[in-house]
Amino acid sequence: MNNDLHKLQPYPFEKLGQLFQGVTHNGDRRHIALSIGEPKHTSPAFVKQSIIDNIDKLAVYPSTKGIPELRQSIAQWADKRFALDAAGLCPNTQVLPVNGTREALFAFTQVVADRTHIDGLVVSPNPFYQIYEGAAYLAGMTPHFLPCQPENQFIPDYDAVPESVWRRCQLLFLCSPGNPTGAVTDAATLRKLIALADEYDFVIASDECYSEIYFDEAAPPVGLLQVCNSMGRTDFKRCVVFHSLSKRSNLPGLRSGFVAGDADILADFLKYRTYHGCAMPVQHQLASIAAWNDEAHVQENRRIYQQKFDSVLSILDGVLDVQRPDASFYLWPKTPVTDTEFARGLFQQQHVTVLPGQFLSRTVDNINPGENRVRMALVAPLDQCIEAAERIKHFVQS
Ligand SMILES: Cc1ncc(COP(=O)(O)O)c(C=O)c1O
């Protein structure tokens, strides 16, 4: 058996299950889950219809590279969203469809890993999406975590990273907007990281799957390709972005996203994926085209999140130390007691589930940046988010 499997940690929800073992809610309130980051708004009707209309494609083997029409739609979407130059992304060489970013982040790490260097590092934010860590271990590399602290707006302090780490770095994961902090990495930081990637010869994987959940229609989060473009780096060398329809379009069950960027890296990624066997079903590709081609449903999606953040934050104001994030659908408040005590007590007393921050992060040099924070995903319907916020207020005040 693969020994590296032993390095994998239980998933945060398994840890939550253990924390709640033997704990029951001692009232009769309905359960409200703010713990799982699964979008719950309605999936677009035209996407569902597209799958029905194309269901005969079940009889077709899909190709790993995807149909040209999908890559074209994705390239057009990304060109517009990230203000890329007239040439924009080449749909043939700089775009690949993936079955959601989760599998892509994992598989991509296996492709980047150069096993001739036994001390290769995957540099990751902390807290972080757990796939980054598992992907690093299973690629024979070691994760190196950088704390995301409030004093640096929840962005790692990249200036504090020693040269010895950059020398060993093979892959740098960015998560912007971040899960669970919602923090957006700004253009100046991205420029600095691109320069470091050139200097130390590593790849940047920018997980931007929350990029479309933001609050100001006039100021969407900046992306890595956009910054490359503004530097005249239209080959996107060493840079690859990960996007998804899961959050943007409320389609987590479609398993549809894309990677885009450096054509040389994507050529190797395509080779890997051919063997990995992860082609997207054609009816899902056609449904994805419909989703990428439409922005009205995404604006409506943002409007609903905005409403939820406004309501919940007005209830929690003065109750918890909590701020509106730059983007994403998460709140990342400080807890007045330990995060695990808070989550357990809240469940027992108020039947509301939140995720302890320490389950989303690792302790490095005796510091766990997730400790004494919880992640609240505002995915439930507005009335439930409001009710949950009221219950949290009662819990804290009691
Ligand atoms: C930071 C981050 N990246 C990637 C994913 C994977 O999303 P999907 O595979 O649905 O695109 C998630 C899902 O929750 C996430 O939070």
Query: Which tens digits make up the pLDDT trace of 166-224?
Result: 999 999 999 999 999 999 999 999 999 999 999 999 999 999 999 999 999 999 999 99
Distance CA 252, CA 40 (A): 9
In this structure, the residue with its CA closest to atom 15 of ligand 1 is 129
Nearest alpha carbon to residue 165 among 146, 151, 148: 146
Sorted by where each begins, the domain ranges of the chain are 3-42+297-397, 58-294
Beta strands in 176-221 (DSSP E): 203-207
Query: What sign does the CA torsion over 308, 309, 311, 313 have?
Result: positive
In this structure, the residue with its CA closest to atom 2 of ligand 1 is 129
Instruction: Please write the tens of the pLDDT for every residue from 64-118.
Output: 999 999 999 999 999 999 999 888 999 999 999 999 999 999 999 999 999 998 8
Question: What pLDDT, on the 0 to 100 scale, is given for residue 286?
Answer: 98
Report how far Cα 191 is from the mean position of its chain's Cα atoms: 21
Q: How many CB atoms lie within 10 A of CB 378?
A: 25
Contact 167, 119 (CB under 8 A): no
Contact 266, 291 (CB under 8 A): no
Write out the two tokens for 220.
């969407």
Question: What pLDDT, on the 0 to 100 scale, is given for residue 118?
Answer: 85
Which residues lie closer than 8 Å to 249 by C-beta, 6 or more apart?
43, 44, 47, 291, 297, 298, 301
Which residues lie closer than 8 Å to 266 by C-beta, 6 or more apart?
93, 94, 95, 96, 240, 259, 260
The rounded Å distance from CA 398 to ligand 1 centre is: 35
pLDDT (mean) for 1-28: 94
Write out the two tokens for 204.
């940047």
Contact 378, 388 (CB under 8 A): no
Write out the two tokens for 243.
């996007």
Tell me if 209 CB under 6 Å of ligand 1: yes
Question: What pLDDT, on the 0 to 100 scale, is given for residue 106?
Answer: 98
Contact 91, 99 (CB under 8 A): no
Tell me if 37 CB under 6 Å of ligand 1: yes
Beta bridge partners of 260: 95, 241
Question: What pLDDT, on the 0 to 100 scale, is given for residue 87?
Answer: 84
CATH number of 3-42+297-397: 3.90.1150.10
The whole-model pTM stands at: 0.97
Length of the chain: 398
Write out the two tokens for 5.
């499997």
Write out the two tokens for 383.
């009335």
The rounded Å distance from CA 103 to ligand 1 centre is: 9
Looking up tokens 């509106």, which residue turns up? 324
Tell me if 12 CB under 6 Å of ligand 1: no
Instruction: Please write the tens of the pLDDT for every residue from 25-48.
Output: 988 999 999 998 888 899 999 999
Of 96, 174, 209, which is best to mutate to test ligand 1, by the most ligand atoms within 8 angstroms of its C-beta?
A: 209
Q: How far is CA 249 from CA 52, 140, 178, 291, 324, in A?
A: 18, 35, 18, 7, 22
Q: Which amino acid is at 259?
A: V
The alpha-carbon radius of gyration of the chain (Å, integer) is 21
Distance CA 110, CA 115 (A): 10
Write out the two tokens for 97.
């469809």
| CATH topology agreement for domains 3-42+297-397 and 58-294 | no
Q: How far is CA 122 from CA 132, 234, 245, in A?
A: 8, 25, 26
Distance CA 26, CA 374 (A): 22
Question: What pLDDT, on the 0 to 100 scale, is given for residue 147?
Answer: 98
Tell me if 257 CB under 6 Å of ligand 1: yes
Of 129, 278, 329, which is best to mutate to test ligand 1, by the most ligand atoms within 8 angstroms of its C-beta?
A: 129
Question: What pLDDT, on the 0 to 100 scale, is given for residue 386?
Answer: 98
Question: What pLDDT, on the 0 to 100 scale, is given for residue 342?
Answer: 98
Query: Ligand 1 atom closest to Cα of 128?
Result: 1
Distance CA 375, CA 94 (A): 34
Helix residue ranges, H only, 82-122: 101-112
Instruction: Please write the tens of the pLDDT for every residue from 306-355.
Output: 999 999 999 999 999 999 999 999 999 999 999 999 999 999 999 999 99
The rounded Å distance from CA 347 to ligand 1 centre is: 25
Tell me if 212 CB under 6 Å of ligand 1: no
Nearest alpha carbon to residue 361 among 129, 165, 142: 129
Contact 174, 204 (CB under 8 A): yes
Tell me if 170 CB under 6 Å of ligand 1: no
Instruction: Please write the tens of the pLDDT for every residue from 131-181.
Output: 999 999 999 999 999 999 999 999 999 999 999 999 999 999 999 999 999
pLDDT (mean) for 245-254: 98
CATH 3.30.200.20 correct for 58-294: no
DSSP 266: H
Question: What pLDDT, on the 0 to 100 scale, is given for residue 37?
Answer: 86
Query: Ligand 1 atom closest to Cα of 252?
Result: 10
